[in-house]
C-alpha cells in the first residue's frame, strides 16, 4: 500500500512539474531558469506545510508518502537546479549562475520555514 501512495503522488507531481516549469519559463524571455526555481520553492513550501501538519498530528504516514515522497519528490528537482546552474556558468553568465544558486537555496529554505509556520498556526 505504501508504494501506491508514492506512485499516485508522483503521477501528479511529475506532470505538474513539467507544466508549471513550461508555463513559468514561457513568461520570461531570459536564460534564467525561473520555472525550475518556481517548482522547487513551491515544493519546499508544500513540504513545510506537510512537516508542520505531521508534527501537529494532522497528517499521517500515507499523507506523508503521497504528498511528501510522491508529489513533492516528483515536483521538485535538485538535479535540474544543478544542471541549470552549471549551464549558466559554462555559457558565460556566471552572475546568473551565482544568483540562481543563492536565490534557489535561500528561497527554498525560506519557503519551508514559512510552510512550517503556517501549519503550526493552523493546527496548534
Where do the structural domains in the chain lie, given as residue ranges? 2-123
- Residues annotated within the binding site for Na(+) are 73, 76
What's the predicted TM-score (pTM) here?
0.95
Residue with the three cell numbers 508518502: 65
Within 10 Å of residue 98's Cβ, how many Cβ atoms? 13
pLDDT tens column, 49-104: 999 999 999 999 999 999 999 999 999 999 999 999 999 999 999 999 999 999 99
Check: CB of residue 20 under 8 Å from CB of residue 42. Answer: yes
Q: What is the pLDDT of residue 75?
A: 97
Residue with the three cell numbers 549558466: 88
- Residues annotated within the binding site are 73, 76
Amino acid at each position: 500500500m505504501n508504494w501506491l501512495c508514492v506512485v499516485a503522488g508522483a503521477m501528479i507531481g511529475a506532470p505538474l512539474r513539467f507544466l508549471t516549469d513550461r508555463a513559468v519559463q514561457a513568461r520570461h524571455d531570459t536564460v534564467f531558469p525561473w520555472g525550475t526555481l518556481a517548482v522547487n520553492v513551491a515544493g519546499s513550501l508544500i513540504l513545510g506545510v506537510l512537516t508542520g501538519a505531521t508534527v501537529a498530528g494532522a497528517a499521517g504516514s500515507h499523507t506523508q508518502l503521497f504528498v511528501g515522497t510522491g508529489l513533492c519528490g516528483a515536483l521538485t528537482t535538485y538535479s535540474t537546479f544543478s544542471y541549470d546552474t552549471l549551464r549558466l556558468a559554462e555559457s558565460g553568465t556566471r552572475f546568473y549562475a551565482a544568483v540562481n544558486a543563492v536565490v534557489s537555496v535561500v528561497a527554498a529554505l525560506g519557503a519551508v520555514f514559512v510552510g512550517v509556520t503556517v501549519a503550526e498556526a493552523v493546527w496548534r
